[in-house]
Structure 1
Amino acid sequence: MTEVSSLTGRLLVASPALADPNFDRAVVLLIDHDDEGSLGVVLNRPTPVGVRDILLPWAGLAGDPDVVFQGGPVSLDSALGVAVIPGDEGPLGWRRVHGAIGLVDLEAPPELLAAALGSLRIFAGYSGWGPGQLEEELESGAWYVVESEPGDVSSPEPESLWRAVLRRQRSKLAMIATYPDDPSLN
């Protein structure tokens, strides 16, 4: 197998042609990407479930909206915490993924991280791809790969993140942000 260039920390932005309803207009932060597969969380799928309803100790640290996000279709009964922590060193209970973005150990006492957290999102489930699967989807044009920004993790308007991420691109991708929700209505 050929070596995979890591996309860890990058965003996958669903192309309008992506047919999987789990990823319609999804923005996925890749937390891990190597020759063994890929794992990420969908940043723009808030649920009506409050963080305090499932992880009360972390509720006061969750960003706005303080709800659980559906990270993807895999293992919806598990939770992942993603936080932005500025600076070079992160606290105990946090593992850097890319830049200021990292994973939170939700088993750790929240007090360990409270002072350092810039923002926190809780995700139920995740998005996963087996070896070579994501590369095939990229080759078929299902996803656009773009750089992430720390603010993507904590966007106060997650429903508009797909358009916002595309709009900030300095390429023809910015035009795709104007793609209608239902092209048949044009």
Structure 2
Amino acid sequence: MPEYFYADRLFNALERNEPEPGMLLVPAPGMFSDLFARTVVLIVEHDEDHTLGVMLNRRSDVAVANVMPGWAELAAKPQAVHIGGPVSPESAVGVGVTRVGVDIDASQHFTRLANRLVLLNLNAAPEDLADEVDGIRIFAGYSEWAPGQLDDEILRGDWFVAPALPSDAVASAGTDLWGDVMRRQAMPLPLFSTFPANLEDN
């Protein structure tokens, strides 16, 4: 098998969105990568210097209550730390979904990503956010791209860029988030929503 199996570059034939905070990076069907295959990456920062994101669907076996107990009550189920990426795994990134009517731009605790989806200030007191969020997710580490790196990978057809829904960040256990995101895109992407992570399992 070649290093990259997904050589048909399906995504190159589709209308392309630009990466920006609040957008999702969806890896191409058949991405030959133990790290990113069938992940969904939420972009939390994007500028000329770098791009940062967190993988939404890589759950660890560590409970939020064991490492950041103050945030456990606000964490959406499953209340586990999720693996945001391979960079700085000792650092924490918080993402949340605000309640309807919360003025995100007026809060010092939130950075708007998309709609009700926000980046959390984890230096805040959790009790100050309790009435403002429907759920949060804590990520250990993050994924990072150097200047121009992500643009090159998108141009090559490795990633599809799609808008995020608030529910993506707090999806329940057992959710096939990659498949769900693919199914809500324009054709022909829904046809690939059941593409296996490992072709030998097909």
Whether these two folds match at TM > 0.5 is yes
Structure 1 segment 25-174 matched on structure 2, within 5 A: 25-85=38-98, 86-87=100-101, 89-90=103-104, 91-157=107-173, 159-174=175-190
In angstroms, what is the RMSD of aligned CA positions?
Answer: 1.6
* 2:23 equivalent to 1:10: yes
> CA distance change for structure 1 residues 163 and 6 in 2, over 3 Å: closer, same or farther?
closer
Provide Cα deviations, 1:93-126, integer angstroms capped at 9, x if missing partner. 2221222111111111111100010110000000
Please say if residues 84 and 117 of structure 1, whose CA atoms lie closer than 8 Å, have aligned partners that are also in contact.
Answer: yes
CA distance in 1, matches of 2:115, 2:147: 25
Q: Residues 69 and 158 from structure 1, CA distance in 2 versus in 1: closer, same or farther, beyond 3 angstroms?
A: farther
Give the 3 Å change call, closer, same or farther, for CA 88–113 of structure 1 in structure 2: closer
Query: How far 1:22 sits from its partner (Å)?
Result: 1.2
Q: What is the CA–CA distance in structure 2 between the aligned matches of 1:72 and 1:6, rounded to whole Å?
A: 18
- Any idea what SS the aligned residue of 1:22 has? coil
In 2, distance between residues paired with 1:25 and 1:104? Answer: 25
Relative distance call for 1:185 and 1:31 in structure 2 (3 A) is: closer
Instruction: Indicate the SS of the match to 1:21.
Output: coil
Moved over 6 A (4+): none
In the alignment, the residues of structure 2 paired with residue 81 and residue 180 of structure 1 have an alpha-carbon distance, to the nearest angstrom, of 29
Deviates more, 1:158-167 or 1:73-82: 158-167
Match of 2:6 in 1: none
Q: Distance in 2 between matches of 1:142 and 1:6?
A: 13
| In 1: Cα distance, 2:87 partner to 2:151 partner | 19
Moved more, 19-28 or 69-78: 19-28
Matching residue's letter, 1:99: N
TM-score by length of 1: 0.91
Q: How many residues get paired?
A: 182
Deviation at 1:164, TM superposition (A): 0.9
* 2:37–2:197 contact (8 Å) kept in structure 1: no
Cα 1:17–1:181 shift into 2, 3 Å: closer
Structure-1 separation of matches of 2:160 and 2:149: 15
State the SS of the aligned residue for 2:195: coil
> Partner amino acid for 2:21?
T
State percent identity of aligned pairs.
Answer: 40
Unmatched tracts of structure 1, length 5 or more? none
TM-score scaled to structure 2, two decimals?
0.84
TM-aligned CA deviation for residue 17 of structure 1: 3.6
